[in-house]
Chain A
Amino acid sequence: MSHPIHVPNSEKFDAAKGVLLKNVFSVAAAVGLLGAGVVYFANKELFAHVWLFAFMYFFTVLCGCFFWNCVHHATDSEWSVVIRRQIENLASLLRYVALFFIPIALCVTILYVWYTKTPQTDASLAGTKGLYLNKPFFWFRAIAFFGLLALLPHILRKRSMAQDKDGAALHTIIMRKVAILGIPTLAICLTFSGIDWLKALNHHWFSTMWGVYLFAGAAGASMALIILVVSWLKKLGYLTVVNDEHYHLMGKWLLAFTVFWAYIGFSQYMLITYANLDEETIYFRVRNTGSWNYLSHLLVFGRFFFMFVPLLFQGLKKSKLINFTAVWILAMQFLDIFLIVIPEWSPVGFSFRAALASIFPWLGIGGCLGLLFLRTLGEGYLFPTKDPRLAESLKASN
């Protein structure tokens, strides 16, 4: 407070500095897509499931980034201005995810049993469930999700970059309105896409906590991704405006969503356990027996207990160790989505074949999105240079 604030110079990404990562992404994309192709010809059913896993991994993480973008504007945050452009860049990648949905659309009859049934052949679709689970409405929803999730982050990023030029406060006011609209939009899109694409893998099963469970994992994992992107840019010598106070704040969110994920995950487990209905318990009956049970335990301990105590410490949040916890949380998101999708393909137990096969689409989609991210990075400044709250963000303190 009261120290003179020096307006920092705007930073622009020099593509030459990102060559190493670009090569890594290119190799990952090539190996991944090639490997996914091999899986497709070896076993179409396995391919459909591992591709769905990889797609949902990146879809949920990018939705989480859009959430952080909306929260920043809706709450008029000051501290996150310096990292906001990276959140916008990540969230704007949602424009491209529809592309990676194509294989799922082509394999829809393999993945979703209900899709091949009619109310005449499956009694469970005869009631109100049939009003929701029917072909035209399924495709309408998919188009709506991709349309809305492409449009809103795009508007936020475009407005933010326009503000870099003229510095008008009007952009901030418009972004706030879009963001306030964006939160319920995201909640609806993430919940119902989770129901359509994951929960409907077994259309008899239901859980009232499904949407919020996916959201809790996604928001934490996306904050981990944001931390890694910021750390990478700092390592290249950019984003000198981000200091340990900002890391402390990002680490606090990481802790908050580690706890929130456990809270929601446990609530889902407890509600299903105590109600003890066959349609609900099937999910945990599969995942808490045999070899899946070990991975379920690893998820509970890895995603929550191992992270909870270290993240309590201020020193860790302000040090480079936060990057390791971020990598670990992204790995746990991998395990989380893996445990949601793959047991539907292999209910009897862990499949090493599926674990190996799931790496390829993950690398493929991740590599492609990484390359697209590097391209968006060069389109504007690396932090909002003329944001009205930049000065407050520079002197953020906990």
Chain B
Amino acid sequence: MSKRLHAIGAEFESAAEIYHAAEKVRDAGYTAWDCHSPFPIHGLDKAMGMRKSWLSAFVFVCGLTGFLTGLGLVTVTSFGIYPIIVNGKPIDWSHGIRALQFFFPVMYELTILFSAFGATFGMILRNGLPRFHHPLFNWSRFAKVTDDKFFLVIETRDPLFSDAKAKALLAEIGGKHVTEVFDHD
């Protein structure tokens, strides 16, 4: 199998360096690129020109689904298929709809449960996880990302990508060890 170029990567020494480097890569117009750091850097999303995540909208839809599921669950079972008097709660639709507060804990809990699932699994899917391997792991220096080094990577799938220009840009903005990263060894 022939090697295919995945990205051009560069190493930075500090959070401040990669922050300013990110601003320059953003201004150069690249879209398929990423920063990797050992810890979260406040404001890096803005320096990278990232928009607000759509995860919250997904969570909202999941929460609404949970609420409606809870509403359906309590009303259909209590007023429809199993009308049993429990704690004097209503057992028919006309009274039940006006006394929904007694059934509220179920709707409330399912809203939270579905929202939490939406947030967790939505985030995992949005990040392209799970996956078994990533081409960046082929770059031996990249292991330092869990310790004290910062990495900026421009991927080949970027429409603006050209090997020489990406290398020149990364060198110009202060990146060290500018390296070609291939999709397998």
B60 and A2 contacting across the interface, CB-CB below 8 Å? no
Question: Is there a chain B Cβ closer than 8 Å to A340's Cβ?
Answer: no
For the complex formed, measure the closest distance between the CB of A155 and the CB atoms of chain B, giving whole angstroms: 33
Interface range for A: 10 to 19
A274 contacts B87, C-beta separation under 8 Å: yes
Near B by CB (< 8 A), chain A positions 279-313 give 312
| Residues on the B chain within 8 Å of A314, using CB | 52, 56
From the candidates B15, B16, B43, name the one contacting A395 in the complex (CB within 8 A). B43
B42 and A1 contact, CB distance less than 8 A: yes
- Residues of A contacting B: mostly: helix
Q: Tell me the bound Cα distance from A296 to B2 in angstroms.
A: 72
Q: Contacts A1-B41, A274-B87, A312-B60 known; A269 to B19 CB distance under 8 Å?
A: no
A2 to B, closest residue via Cβ = B16
CB contacts (< 8 Å) of B44 on chain A: these are 1
Q: How many pairs of A and B residues are in contact by the CB < 8 Å rule?
A: 28
Task: With both chains docked as a complex, state the minimum distance between the C-beta of A196 and any C-beta of chain B, in angstroms.
Answer: 29
Known: A274-B87, A397-B42. A2 touches B19 (CB 8 A): yes
Q: How far is A269 from B99 in the complex, measured between Cα atoms in Å?
A: 13
- Chain B residues within 8 Å of A1, by CB: 15-16, 19, 41-44
Q: Is the CB of B60 within 8 A of A273?
A: no
Q: Mark A332-362, 1 if CB is under 8 A from B, else 0.
A: 0000000000000000000000000000000
Contacts of B43 in A (CB 8 A): 1, 395, 397
Bound-complex Cα distance A312 to B60 (A): 9
Whole-angstrom CA separation of A273 from B42 in the bound complex: 48
Size bracket, chain B contacts: 10 to 19
Question: Is B101 close to A, CB under 8 A?
Answer: yes
User: Does B184 interact with chain A (Cβ within 8 Å)?
Assistant: no
Query: Which residues does chain A contribute within 8 Å of B41, judged by CB atoms?
Result: 1
Does A270 have its Cβ within 8 Å of any Cβ on chain B? yes
Minimum Cβ distance to chain A for residue B49 (Å)? 15
Q: How far is the CA of A270 from the CA of B105 in the complex (A)?
A: 10
Query: How many angstroms between the C-alpha atoms of A2 and B15 in the bound complex?
Result: 9
Bound complex: CA A273 to CA B87 (Å): 10
Chain A CB within 10 A, most for which of B15, B42, B44: B42
Cα distance A395–B42 in the bound complex, in angstroms: 9
- Is B117 an interface residue when CB atoms closer than 8 A count as contact? no
Residue among A1, A266, A314, A395 facing the most chain B CB atoms (10 A cut-off)? A1
A273 touches B52 (CB 8 A): no
Residues of B within 8 Å of A273, CB to CB, are 102
Given A1-B41, A1-B42, A312-B60, the answer on whether A266 and B15 have CB atoms closer than 8 Å is no
Q: How far is the CA of A369 from the CA of B56 in the complex (A)?
A: 41
Please give me the residue from chain B that is nearest to A1 by CB atom.
B43
Residues of chain A with a CB closer than 8 A to B19's CB: 1-2
Query: Which 5 A-B pairs give the minimum distances between C-beta atoms?
Result: A2-B16, A1-B43, A1-B42, A2-B19, A397-B42
* Interface positions of A (Cβ within 8 A of B): 1-2, 266, 269-270, 273-274, 312, 314, 395, 397
Could you pull out 9 A-B pairs where Cβ atoms are within 8 angstroms? A1-B19, A1-B41, A1-B42, A2-B15, A266-B101, A270-B105, A273-B102, A274-B87, A397-B43
Q: A1-B41, A273-B102 are in contact. List 20 more A-B contacts (CB 8 A).
A: A1-B15, A1-B16, A1-B19, A1-B42, A1-B43, A2-B15, A2-B16, A2-B19, A2-B20, A266-B101, A269-B101, A270-B101, A270-B102, A274-B87, A312-B56, A314-B56, A395-B42, A397-B42, A397-B43, A397-B46
